[in-house]
Each structure stands twice: as structure tokens, then as C-alpha cells.
Structure 1
Amino acid sequence: MKQTVILLLLVVLCAFGTRAQQTDSIRISLLTCGAGNEIYSLFGHTAIRYEDPEHHIDAVFNYGMFSFNTPNFILRFTLGETDYQLGVNSYEHFAAEYAYLGRDVRQQVLNLTPQEKKRLFALLEENYRPENRVYRYNFFYDNCATRPRDIIEKAVDGSLLYSADMDVPVEGLSFRQLLHQYTESHSWARFGMDLCMGVQADRPINRREEMFVPFCLQGHFQNACIIDREGQQRPLVSEEATLVPIEGEDADGKSEGITPLQAASLLLTIVAAATFFGVRKRKTLWGLDLLLFFCAGTAGCILAFLALFSQHPAVSPNYMLFVFHPLHLFALPWMLKKVINQKKSRYMVINLAVLTLFISLWAFIPQRFNFAVLPLALCLFIRSASNLILAQKRNK
């Protein structure tokens, strides 16, 4: 039924498009949608609305269409090979969906001339052709916010002038900093992102690069101006309105439950207490080592896979691999054999040295780490040190 509605809508658009664009009653707007609770919706959403009252057309062009049912979706997303596409829906259905999800929708009507509206609509039509509508999604550089920005800039008869210098890197502004800003209430999502992102996520970015976040794009459009070929200047946005207001608590409410830092601190307390008991009683607690190093090695395999094979631009290099790396997993049998027999493990010695450097140089490594990593690193540090202490006691 939904496909039928979309098909009919497209037929109407194609039938009346050329004639409809000749009147100035047409409005084209940028829609910015509020954040949701799913990880892919934490940063909001952007779409383009096309209104032609004369021919009863009210359509939304949406560059954020994807399907979890795509074969190997998780693997392709991990590798940075996710394909999104441009979809078209009626505004009525679009607004109803976001109202149901508890996400507000704000509109910025674009101050375009009839010729610019015609050009923009033609570009959208071209983008929606079957051979053009699918594109390779990139979270930072080519997403549902950057695509509308680029096509609007292309349609303007002249150039867009933003209020700030868009190409100069801003000190303190990075991809990670922006992600933190919009994941404040979702500590586990932030923790996962911090683990996967490497040094490139902490480099200074410019104002144009921050437009991958729909809310940043909305803010820059609010203060932007169009400079036409005659040098005349006019505001890009003629009016603003909230189309789908959300009353009460936002969808992006405070997360409940234990945070990653609290969980990691609790684990550190348990590991430290168990290790103190084990050293005093001369017990190896090899089961604890098996659990900790197996988990650390598994996490390391994921991080190494991302760093080596993923096309995501900010996952490599990643200094987190000094704490979580595949060698924990591969060396586990030989390491446990030494631990069980209370013999000195060379792997534990090397791991202790690496972790000592990592913790000591924490503030100087050119990558920001989630604070929950420190207790986790200390857990591995304590277990490595306990092996050396027990081996030394056995030798005596």
C-alpha cells in the first residue's frame, strides 16, 4: 500500500512538475527532525520538502532511506560499505511517522527564486532516477544532511555565504567532540563509538565538516545568505516554523541504569579484591584471567578488523589497540599454562610494560579515550602483575 502511494505521488510529480514550477506559490524547505532513541537517530535527520498548493503536491525527499534487511547489512556497515538511497514520501506520512516516534520536525523555508526552485526540483528528480538514487553512505562526509546541503548549494544562482569561515579548522572542534555532544544521554553508545574511533576522529575540523550533523546544518542555514550573480544579497531562509511539536520529555531523554564508567569501576574493584586475595593465598585465579583476556582479545579483534579493513574514515589508526588487541586471544592457551603453574609468563611481562606506558602516557597520546577504558586497562594491568608476583613467590 505504501509503495502504491509513493508511485502515485511520483506520477503526479512528473505530470505536473514542469508546469507547477512556473509559479511562485511553490515552497521548498529544509526539514530538521529531532533526535530519536536508536543509535542511528541520535543526531537527528534532514530532508527536503516540496510544496505546490496549486496542484495539491506536498512531498518530502529523504536521503536517509536504508533497510536492515539488506544482505550482510551489519558486515557492510562495519566495513563502511552501506548503501543509502533517496526516497520520496508524502509530507502527511512523513510528519505522522515522526509524531508517532516522538521526534519534532522543524521547517526552514528557503528564500529561492522561481528559477532556483525549478533547478532544485530538476536536481531532485535527477537524483531520484533508479540509476542515481542509491549512494554509498559515509557518516561524516556523505549522509542525509550533507546531500541536501550540496544539492541546495548547486541550485542557487550564485553562491551561499555562511556566517563563519567554513574552511578554517576550529580549535577544539572534532568529530568525536560533536558525537559526544549529541550522545550525552546515551553513555553506552558513546562508549562504543569511542572504542571504535581512532586518531582521525580527534583532528580539528572546520565548520563545513560539522554539517554532517543535521542540527549544525540547520544552525548554519539559519544565518546564511544567498549572493546572486549581480552581487545582491538575500537571506537563505525566509521563515521558520515547528511543524511537529513534541510536548513533555524529549525522545532523547536521560538514559537510566549503570554507565560504562560505573561498570568498569565495579569490575576493577572486584578484580583488585580477588587478586589481593589470590596473591595472599597463592592462588592463580586463572579463570578470572581467562575471562578478562578472552574479552579483551575479542574486542581487539573487532578493533583490528575496523582499523585494517573498514572504509570508515576515522577508525584508523586506533591507539586503543594497545589495550585491546587480538594477541590476548591468540596467546591465551600458552599464557594460561604459565599462570596455572605459577611460572613467569613472558606475555604477561610484555603486557604489563605496554599497559604501564599506555596509562603513564594517557594524557599525551593524540587520541581521546573514554574514561571507562582506564579501569579496564587497570584490570589487565593488575592481573599481569599478579602473575609475576606469584611466580616470584613460587621461586622463593
Structure 2
Amino acid sequence: MNCKLRLFALLFLVCSVVPFHARQSRDSIQLSLVTCAPGNEIYALFGHTAIRYQNFTQGVDLVFNYGMFSFSTPHFVYRFVKGETDYQLGISPYSYFEAEYAMRGSSVWQQTLNLTYDEKVRLLGLLEENYRPENRTYRYNYFYDNCTTRARDQIEKCIRGKVVYSAGSPRKTFRSIVHEFTAGSPWDEMGIDFCLGAEADRPIDNRRQMFAPFYMKAFASSAYILGEDGTQRPLVLREEKIVDVEPETEPPFPLSPMMAASLFLALNVLIGWWQWKRRRIFWGWDILLYLSQGVAGCVVAFLFFVSVHPTVGSNWLLWLFNPLPLLYLPVMVYRDMKRKKDLYHWINAVYLTIFIALFLLLPQKFNLTVLPLALGLLVNAVSHVLVYKNR
């Protein structure tokens, strides 16, 4: 009951602003773009954006946050992988918002928007409209429709005229920007790289680059408003750091993805040598190896053919990781146990050789761990062929 009363009071404060705006001083309302530093969780690696609303006359200080979601939503993981995750616009007192990010070790920057009084009221009206129960939920799209792009779009809609942004780097891609924020999280970076396809390596314009909170912050700093009457004014009136904390650091995992992939290659060389020396196939290793490759292939194939996430439908990694090894595994193990030749390994050796030869020529930037993984699979396939010849 107390939660309902607090929510009602919060909504009353928000909704009461527009009807009484005629009685407010022109300096009583302030709206700001808020940018939060990255966190340690994978969904927080890139930072966060929100809009802060302050009404000094009424003593109101709220944050409009387009990044609200719940892990307890039914089938959350499946819907997230498929690209059908729903986010919401939430409202919270600034004191709660500040305490949350201070506690997680994320600093917060505020850019006070240089809006006219009418534009401030219009922006508040847009946020209020977005918060209506029938409007607050939206289909989240990481690159094209997220908490940052939503905040930017509402700011632009309230302005009489248009926002002009400075030129960014024409060589930026979705993947290159992602790598800037995953540099300290190599396992997360590898996982994301395995999901993104060739589309993530195409150059993107300034507007596309604003999917990242800190890129939006940088573009806003140098942007200006071109009014309908031809006048110009900076979009940001002033900028300040409103939460200044030391970021929390977690001890890195002792094994990097490249080290793990290199060990995988070395293990395949060792097992391949043992198979060639003994002239027999270690079929238990085949079960583990091709089961893992097939399961990884199922994930990549699901993203490629089923998911509606952007950029995943152009993933050339499907050449290397697909469900075929999993489907053929029972036949493979049966032939291994019966010591029969299997054409699969001959075809696989040729196939993997072509993939490795074209590694740098394909229109996609692969994570470097793909190379030792592919070499490990190739060594295994070649060892089978050599065993057949020795027999």
C-alpha cells in the first residue's frame, strides 16, 4: 500500500507541472541529459543515459529512465536472445538514482540543456506522455532504439528548430565502438563478437554512433540548436560531474580467451599426435569436441535465422559454427568405434582450410580467438585422415 501511495504522489508531482507552468518562473525548471559511467555487468558495460527534471519552485527532482527492465520477466533469456526484450520508461527520485550509481561505483555527468521555457514544458509533456501505461513499454533494440536514443529523440522533438551535431569519425562501426567499452572485459568482448555479423563492421553515421551513451554525451557537448528564425545557441548550457566515485574493479579472470583458445589448439595437437601414433581414434574426444561445436553452432544459427537483433543475420561465423557436427555426431562416433573410415573428416579438413585461408578476406572482423579455434578443429580433422591412411 505504501508503494502505491508513493507512486501516486510521484505521478501527481509530474502531472501537476504542465497545468501550472504559467505560474512558474522561467528559471524554475531545469532539464538535463545525464550520462552514467559503465558498470561491471555485461548490460552496463557501455554506460547509461537518462533525463533529469528539476523544478526548484516545487522542490521536485526526478529522473526519467528509459532503461528499466526485469530479469524476472517470463522467458527473459529466450526473448533477449531472440531480440524481443521489452524495456520501460521509469521515473525515480534523483536521490535514489544517485545513490544507486554511487553504490555501484559509477560516476555520473550532467549536461544542462539550453532550452527555452516553452521547450522545457514541451519536453516534460513528451516525457509525461511516454510514461502513460499504454506508452511506457517499448521494444528494445540495442543499436537503434535504446535508453540513449530515446532520450535524444525526445529532446529533439521539443525544440523549435533542429539540433545540429558536429561531424564524427566516418570510420566508426558498431563493432569498433563496442570494442572501446569491452576492452577491459575480453570474455564479454568475445561473446559479443561471436554474435555480431558483417553488418556491425560497416561505417555508421553520427546518428548511429549515438547509440552509445558517451558518444551521445560527446556529440551533445558540441551540438547547437538552429532556431526557426535562424538563430543559434549551444544545446548544452553547462556540464558538470554530479556523482564522482571510484569505479569498482573486479579481479580479471586468470585465463584470457586467446589463452584458452591456444590451449584448445595445443590439446588438439597433442590428441592428434596420440591418435596418429596409436593408429586409433579417441572417440570420447570427438564426442566432447563436436558436441561443443554443434551447440555453439545452434546458438549462432538461431541468431542468424530466428533472432531479430540487428547485425546478427549477417554472421559469417556460421561457416565455422553450425549445427551440422551435432547432427552428424552419432554417425561419427559409431564409425570411430567400428574403426571405419569417415568421409566427413576429409570434407571437414578441406572446408576448414578454405575458411582459414579466407579468414582475413571475408567482409567481417572476427575475434582473433576464432583462428586458433578453427586451427584446432582442422588439426583434429587432419589427424583422423592420417589415422585412416596409416591403417
Indicate the TM-score class for this superposition, using the shorter chain for normalisation: over 0.9
What is the CA distance between 1:170 and its match in structure 2? 1.8
Find the counterpart in structure 1 of residue 237 from structure 2.
238
Letter in structure 2 aligned against 1:178: I
Find the counterpart in structure 1 of residue 182 from structure 2.
183
2:210 aligns to what SS in structure 1? helix
CA contact (8 A) 2:291 2:326 kept: yes
2:383 aligns to what SS in structure 1? helix
Find the counterpart in structure 2 of residue 264 from structure 1.
261
Equivalent residue in structure 1 for 2:333, among 332, 336, 340: 336
1:18 aligns to what SS in structure 2? coil
Q: How does 1:1-396 map to 2 (within 5 A)?
A: 1=2, 4-20=5-21, 22-24=24-26, 25-164=28-167, 170-171=170-171, 173-247=172-246, 250-251=247-248, 255-394=252-391
Instruction: Tell me: CA distance 1:2–1:89, structure 2 relative to 1, closer, same or farther (3 Å).
Output: farther
CA distance in 2: counterparts of 1:120 and 1:277, whole angstroms: 70
RMSD: 1.5
CA distance in 2: counterparts of 1:139 and 1:42, whole angstroms: 13
Letter in structure 1 aligned against 2:88: Q
User: After superposition, what is the alpha-carbon deviation per residue over 1:286-323, rounded to whole angstroms, capped at 9, x for unaligned?
Assistant: 11111111000000011101111100011012111111
2:367 aligns to what SS in structure 1? coil
What is the CA distance between 1:253 and its match in structure 2? 6.1
1:331 aligns to what SS in structure 2? helix
- Where structure 2 has 5 or more consecutive residues not aligned to the other structure, the ranges are none
User: TM-score scaled by structure 1?
Assistant: 0.95
Q: Percent identity?
A: 47
Task: Pick which of 232-241 and 6-15 moved more.
Answer: 6-15
CA contact (8 A) 1:42 1:252 kept: no
User: After superposition, what is the alpha-carbon deviation per residue over 1:103-125, rounded to whole angstroms, capped at 9, x for unaligned?
Assistant: 11110000000010011011011
- Where structure 1 has 5 or more consecutive residues not aligned to the other structure, the ranges are none
CA distance in 1: counterparts of 2:245 and 2:154, whole angstroms: 29
Task: Pick which of 17-26 and 61-70 moved more.
Answer: 17-26
CA distance in 1: counterparts of 2:254 and 2:5, whole angstroms: 43
Letter in structure 1 aligned against 2:238: E
Task: Pick which of 43-52 and 250-259 moved more.
Answer: 250-259
CA distance in 2: counterparts of 1:137 and 1:110, whole angstroms: 25
CA distance in 1: counterparts of 2:19 and 2:193, whole angstroms: 48
CA distance in 1: counterparts of 2:250 and 2:143, whole angstroms: 24
Task: Pick which of 269-278 and 90-99 moved more.
Answer: 269-278
CA distance in 2: counterparts of 1:163 and 1:257, whole angstroms: 42
User: After superposition, what is the alpha-carbon deviation per residue over 1:151-188, rounded to whole angstroms, capped at 9, x for unaligned?
Assistant: 101101111011117xxx823x1111111110001111
2:20 aligns to what SS in structure 1? helix
What is the CA distance between 1:343 and its match in structure 2? 2.8
